[in-house]
Amino acid sequence: MKEKKIMALADENIMNTYRRVPIALVKGEGARLWDANGKEYLDFVAGIAVCNLGHSHPNVVKAIKKQAKNLMHVSNLYYTRPQGEVASILTKHSFADKVFFCNSGAEANEAAIKLARKYAHENLGEDKFELITMKDSFHGRTMATITATGQEKFQFGFTPLLDGFKYVPFNDPAALEDAITPKTCGIMLEPIQGEGGVIIPDDRYLAKVRDICDRHRILMIVDEVQTGIGRTGKLFAYEYSGIKPDIMTLAKALGNGFPVGAMLATEEIARAFGPGNHASTFGGNLLAMAAAKATLETMLDEGVLENCGKTGEYFLSRLQALKDKHAIITGVRGRGLMLACPLAVEGADIVKKCQEKGLLINCTGGKTLRFVPPLIITEKDVELAVAILDEVMEGR
């Protein structure tokens, strides 16, 4: 089908909730994508930090194919082997002892909110239900997760929101401690704010949050939906802080493009959930587990984290040089391959010009260019992307 026809069919029949770029993509391989007209793109979006091993990674494709032939879905009324296998990889490589599987980031955060409330209800007192989250955070689009999200633009028109949420500025331990009341049961935050514009807190911030949680006997929930699965150069971003959270949520890159989410917790906290307390029909689906297992094994065994750290540092230095050359870039920040450049101008036109020249990038909050390429990119890919950015910014 020709590109125009693909777009017209979608626009006629799909609800208008996305501001889409007018290209229709049909094929991907590694860090490259092709549209319906055969035009090639270097992809520095990766399905929004999802395809961390690159598009259609052979290990993931093979695992999904093999599982699809055998068995795709049986529900959680029964045991299946891949669920336990994926859960054991996640617990082995994290602070967590137990995993709950679901299908998306919002669902993982919903599960975390429910678990925190249930744990507090049973262990801390029935009047402890309040969660403190951060301004400019992003936790998803369901009712509970837009409530947790500290940005009014995601909440506007959907009130009344859920009871029991409070917001404090990110990277401000004093404000956080001040906001705690006898009703507080936990704190939920991203180790690096993603949709908020790749906001990196001070090195000691997460440790201070941990300390506050310990002193007030409340739970620390980290939303690693975007930062997790290698994006920052470690499997999970909290590892940089030297602390352990109580609950962690994952999704985006966990299946390298196959929808899957997970909520992880320590044994003590996980015990607050018993049979019947929470569930998902598709959670831990066999295809999702096959994809997640192949993704995690590939990431851990094939030097992907090392490449992310090394190429990320290189990219950061090249962006720094670009900033020195172009005044419209007002900053450069990031960790691993989660990078951003705030601009003095709206980013939409830059994104469009890059796309015309064969580079896909994304803009958050209107003025911040965000780069979340596959973690398998090479220095040559970085050079190409920087050359296109340089050309597009010339004379602005």
- Residues 138, 154, 258, 371: which is the catalytic one? 138
Nearer residue to ligand PLP within complex by CB, 43 or 381 = 43
The answer to whether the CB of 238 falls within 8 A of the CB of 65 is: no
285 binds ligand PLP (CB under 6 A): no
Which ranges in the chain belong to alpha helices (H)? Answer: 3-13, 46-49, 58-70, 81-92, 105-123, 143-148, 152-155, 173-179, 205-216, 267-270, 286-301, 304-325, 348-356, 379-393
> And the tokens for 79?
């045991």
| Contact stretch for ligand PLP (CB under 6 A) within 135-143, 177-185, 228-236, 351-359 | 135-143
- Residue 168: phi, psi to the nearest 5? -130, 160
Minimal distance, residue 310 CB to ligand PLP, in Å: 24
252 is catalytic: yes
104 binds ligand PLP (CB under 6 A): yes
> And the tokens for 156?
């506007």
Angle at 193 between CA 190 and CA 198, to 5 degrees: 150
Exactly one of 194, 197, 233, 255 binds ligand PLP (CB under 6 A); that residue is 194
Nearer residue to ligand PLP within complex by CB, 60 or 388 = 60
Minimal distance, residue 260 CB to ligand PLP, in Å: 10
Minimal distance, residue 199 CB to ligand PLP, in Å: 11
| Contact stretch for ligand PLP (CB under 6 A) within 134-142, 228-236, 317-325, 363-371 | 134-142
Closest to 8 measured CA to CA, from 30, 36, 50: 36
- Residue 291: other Cβ atoms inside 10 A: 27
CA torsion angle 25 27 33 36 (round to 10) = -40
The answer to whether the CB of 130 falls within 8 A of the CB of 185 is: yes
Give the pairing type, strands 261-265 and 247-250.
Answer: antiparallel
163 is catalytic: no
> And the tokens for 376?
């398998």
Exactly one of 30, 140, 233, 255 binds ligand PLP (CB under 6 A); that residue is 140
- Residues 223, 234, 246, 315: which is the catalytic one? 223
- Residues 165, 252, 258, 293: which is the catalytic one? 252
| Contact stretch for ligand PLP (CB under 6 A) within 100-108, 168-176, 199-207, 330-338 | 100-108
Minimal distance, residue 278 CB to ligand PLP, in Å: 17
Minimal distance, residue 330 CB to ligand PLP, in Å: 23
136 is catalytic: no
Exactly one of 44, 138, 165, 273 binds ligand PLP (CB under 6 A); that residue is 138
As to burial, measured by CB atoms within 10 angstroms (0-12 exposed, 13-18 middle, 19+ buried), residue 357 is middle
Exactly one of 53, 86, 102, 106 binds ligand PLP (CB under 6 A); that residue is 106
Nearer residue to ligand PLP within complex by CB, 102 or 389 = 102
Exactly one of 251, 363, 385, 388 binds ligand PLP (CB under 6 A); that residue is 251
The answer to whether the CB of 265 falls within 8 A of the CB of 247 is: yes
225 binds ligand PLP (CB under 6 A): yes
190 binds ligand PLP (CB under 6 A): yes
Nearer residue to ligand PLP within complex by CB, 338 or 388 = 338
| Contact stretch for ligand PLP (CB under 6 A) within 9-17, 37-45, 92-100, 190-198 | 190-198
- Residue 126: other Cβ atoms inside 10 A: 8
Minimal distance, residue 110 CB to ligand PLP, in Å: 9
Distance CA 264, CA 273 (A): 12
Distance CA 20, CA 91 (A): 37
Nearer residue to ligand PLP within complex by CB, 31 or 262 = 262
Exactly one of 139, 231, 326, 335 binds ligand PLP (CB under 6 A); that residue is 139
- Going across the sheet that includes 359-360, the strands are 25-29, 32-35, 40-43, 359-360
Minimal distance, residue 148 CB to ligand PLP, in Å: 9
The answer to whether the CB of 150 falls within 8 A of the CB of 134 is: yes
Distance CA 10, CA 255 (A): 26
| Contact stretch for ligand PLP (CB under 6 A) within 9-17, 102-110, 208-216, 301-309 | 102-110
> And the tokens for 1?
């089908």
Which residues in this chain contact ligand PLP in the complex, by CB under 6 A? 104-106, 109, 138-140, 190, 194-195, 223, 225-226, 251-252
By annotation, the residues acting in catalysis are 138, 223, 252
